[in-house]
Structure 1
Amino acid sequence: MSLFRTILFVAALAGIGSGVVAAGIHMVGAVPLILKAETYESAAEATEAPAAQAPVAHAHDAATPAHEHDADEWAPSDGFERNGLTLVFMVLTGFGFGLLLMAASELAGGIDGWRQGILWGFAGFAVFTLAPQLGLPPELPAMPAADLMARQIWWIGTAAATAGGLALLVFGRVPLLAALGVMLILIPHVIGAPQPASFETPIPEGLHHSFVVASVASSFVFWVLLGGLAGWLRPRIAALEANRALARAA
């Protein structure tokens, strides 16, 4: 029970700390780019609207769904609401990934110090950010994308394969296991990520590049902080739990 409490408290505290910092970086670096992309999206929709109203000028194949927005579709307003939701989402994400990181590290013997924690953070960054985004980079509004289900399947498969491959590389005791680990990491990229039918977009390439850099940077800081905080907190909270158990026994 004490181990479960330790994992829970460490994941919560590390998740809050890393989530708040990552949310701040995201608000400063990525949100302005998203807002700028939304202006391109609105301009493109305004340009397409007159053509859509013309009787014969532009027609869609019946089998091809048009890209439409519901007039009543909810979206967060700019400013406090958007930033507040970003903060809540990042903190919850930090808690969830903190639980995963702590569970995986406990299975491997536990984290003993912030240095080991940072290494686990690097692994988390490779599994959940670097490997999936090699095939599916972050997207801005008005950018084309492949089928959502196909992308989710590829993303989950890539993350799982990368995690398994890294485990074989780090904990495998024989060269054969290391070779299998490398193969496992490469398989999703050999298969290839799902791609959209067309790459046409009103978003400038430079804007998308800046968004990818900002997203990857905030994710890197998030994972390094999450791992480092988890590594720093884990032995301290474990010691507190042990002292509490001794006090109860006495």
Structure 2
Amino acid sequence: MRILAGQVAMSLAVLAFALISLRVARALPAHERRFAYAWTITGGSLLIAGTNSLFHDLFAIIAFRGGPESAAWAAVLRWHPILNHSRTFLLSTFCVVLAVGLYRMGRMKQPPSVAAGLGTVAAGMLVGAAVGAHEAAFSGLTHFSAVAVYDIMEMAAVMAVLVVGLNSDAMDRSLWVALGVNGFILALSVLVFAALSRIEIVGQWAPSPLQMQWTKAALHALVVAVAVRHLRRIRRGLPVRALVDASPRAAVLATPHL
């Protein structure tokens, strides 16, 4: 149950970061609205991901309390791949949408609308769910190996958006740092799930799931702290700093369009 509690803590942290991101987007002053698009897409995407994750956690808790012989236990084993892969594909798609938006804004073009971007992210989640539905019957070897592989895909997507962000005046430093910490969490997850896929092999080392879950929860809490600090600075009227010098034409793309 302590492992599941750590997972719930991570889900709540993701939801908290999503809600704060949306508040950051609304709180940005008129002369810094060019940062609002990235925060809005981030907040909307992670709101979907966090809700998905929290549902998964509560489902797993019900199964845990019912025991291995319960219908809930059998159901959650069937839904593990569907829910896990749906979030991975969702977040990978989010990174692609954000990278495309930042790239277009850097070239003084309109990014995809927020509605179109979030619709694409939701479609990515459905693709991931379909991939999970076609996975073989649940086992640590098959599922954790697949999670590690797809986490590499997501990590590559995060690295791509961080690189694009380095050359964009539409992503501020706080969001870049927050996504960078998420990239580190993903790198950690790849190593952990690769090891956990061999946990049933006699003599094979694997990390403690309890320690890893709470380590990741602490890192997610750090991401929330970054967003909270950023929001407080905006409300105090302090300037928002981009990773590169702002373009004098950035005002053209100031407000996210629906």
Which interval holds the TM-score relative to the shorter structure?
A: 0.3 to 0.5
Larger-gyration structure (1/2)? 1
